Amino acid sequence: MTRSENRSDTPRYRQLAALYEQAIASGSLQPGMRMPSVRELCQRHQVSLTTALQGLRHLEAQGCVEARERVGYFVRAPGSASLPRAREPEVCEPLPSDPRVFAGINERISLFLEKARLAGPLPLDLGSAMPAPSLFDATALNRLAHSLLREQPDILVYGPSAPTTHPEFQQAMARHALGFGLSLAPSDISATLGNSEGVNLALDAVAEPGDVIAVESPTFFGILQAIEVRGLRALEIPSSPHTGMSLEALELAARNEPRLKGVVVVPHLQMPQGSVMPDAHKQRLVALCVEYGLALVEDDIYREFVETSHPLRPVKAWDRPGDAGQVIYCASLSKSFAPGLRQGWMSAGRWQARVQMLKFASTRNMQTWSQLLAARSVNSPGYERHLRRLRAQLRLQREQSARAVARYFPQGTRLSLPPGGLSLWLELPVGISSTRLYDQALQCGIRIAPGPMFSNTGRYEHFLRLSCGMPFTPQVEEGYRTLGELMAQQLGQGRGVTCLSRLLYPGLPEAV
């Protein structure tokens, strides 16, 4: 305890808080550890309930601990070391519409994936944007599944008369949507095989080969793959790492590109940049699409990961009834509830009938099992408690990852910490190739996601996406240190690199 905090005129709660501040600063209490309860503090330090509670609240105000509802207080990771903020895009107009540019993403992604496959099982995967299995409540899900089997023992038996989407699922999703400002009729909701099928069905419904679809740049490579495999062209619109797609550039594209038929956006925690689109931008985006007759496909898979005091409204909330449904809304519970179920849903607006026809033609009936599991979970108190725990743990992991970037990566690395989500998007110093880094990292037992996976323009060679979905273990930190050494080597500032694989498998070479 500091001399100033030990003075007799210092309030007792401040003296108590200072004691634990020192313990956290010295490392005696590690990030993520649970703090003593109020009653434990009272017994341990002979203070009143009021003093103990004031001490914890002071620690929370200082950023040392965080409160988790009905669980208690936990040691919070200190703020990430200062890194330059991610820059806004240098251009404010669509990237060149050269047909030779808007092809080849499937081949490129396949090449990256094949390299990882040939490398065999890797000790560390920093490339996938998925929460760790430990972040899900498997016990509660199994209990619900057993209850459902007892109630409906024939639920897994195929029945040709089963509806494409179960009515109970439709009603549950309609109630769920009300919680974030979206009013939908149950009949407007269709179940999908994850979020990807929803986006694919939307593209099939609104465009035909040769048409152009506007996307954010950079964007999730799965969207680019879906566009390319359908014979469509992706027109990449510059996007801010803080507010999302440039609406000025989109309007310019709408005026000048006659075959532009639709727009695909990820408004909440855009992948890979992590931006959150402001409400004013959402409203203007819908108005632009209405004005130019463009279908607006909203991929809202990450909304529930945003850390906010109130639920964020989807873009579709500004889809006025008089416009006959300009927005096709696609969502999923794959990342937030149970990845193994692959349960998604969509509401296709004016294209609802066509989407249902396409869905039935491609996959016929949806399984009832996963729909009912989801329906009986999303509106329960347990689901919201799960989301709060999930967001809190992911925040800790992101902050720990950001500190590791600041500690180990070369000077000039840029990062804006997103307000939620599963990954970090980094701008690396000029001179570093993330494609080369990908190859080097594989040799060291580490998988990453290089920038060229997220665009066809060639603009993101010195960008990198890193996953924060797994707990930040010493092995993960060692992986960040190794990546930093590999980048220093590219810049001519480093020597040999001790690979993470060699730490686990001593027979491997010492350096790359």
Q: How confident is the model at residue 340 (pLDDT cuts 50, 70, 90)?
A: confident
Domain ranges across the chain: 4-75, 106-134+388-504, 163-382
Q: How confident is the model at residue 282 (pLDDT cuts 50, 70, 90)?
A: very high
Provide the angle, in degrees to the nearest 10, between the axes of the packed helices 221-229 and 105-118.
120
pLDDT above 90 for 337: no
Distance of CA 275 to the CA centre of its chain: 10
* pLDDT tens column, 189-221: 999 999 999 999 999 999 999 999 999 999 999
Class of domain 163-382: alpha beta
How are beta strands 244-245 and 190-193 bridged, if at all? unpaired
**What is the average pLDDT across 160-176?**
84
Q: How far apart are CA 20 and CA 214, in angstroms?
A: 52
Q: How far apart are CA 491 and CA 462, in angstroms?
A: 12
Count of helix runs (H) and strand runs (E) in the chain? 16, 15
Q: Which CATH architecture has domain 106-134+388-504?
A: Alpha-Beta Complex (3.90)
Residue pair 220/236 in contact by the 8 Å Cβ criterion: no
Q: How confident is the model at residue 2 (pLDDT cuts 50, 70, 90)?
A: very low
Nearest to 345 by CA among 132, 156, 168, 146: 168
3-state secondary structure of 397: helix
3-state secondary structure of 268: strand
User: pTM to 2 decimals?
Assistant: 0.81
Q: How far apart are CA 265 and CA 47, in angstroms?
A: 54
Q: Report CA-CA distances (Å) from 373 to 6, 337, 386.
A: 56, 10, 15
3-state secondary structure of 3: coil
pLDDT above 60 for 274: yes
**Cβ neighbour number for residue 153 with a 10 Å cutoff:** 9
Peptide bond into 218 cis (omega under 30): yes
Residue pair 265/285 in contact by the 8 Å Cβ criterion: yes
Q: Which pLDDT score, from 0 to 100, does residue 508 have? A: 42
* pLDDT tens column, 238-260: 999 999 999 999 999 999 999 99
Q: Which pLDDT score, from 0 to 100, does residue 23 have? A: 82
Q: Which pLDDT score, from 0 to 100, does residue 505 have? A: 42
Q: Which pLDDT score, from 0 to 100, does residue 209 have? A: 96
pLDDT above 90 for 64: no
Nearest to 485 by CA among 444, 430, 452: 444
101's CB contacts (< 8 A; 6+ apart) are 95, 456, 457
Distance of CA 140 to the CA centre of its chain: 23
Tokens of 417: 């910490």
Q: How far apart are CA 168 and CA 172, in angstroms?
A: 6
Q: How far apart are the first and last CA of the chain?
A: 47
Residues in the chain, overall count: 512
Q: Which fold has domain 4-75?
A: Arc Repressor Mutant, subunit A (1.10.10)
* pLDDT tens column, 93-115: 666 545 445 557 889 999 998 99
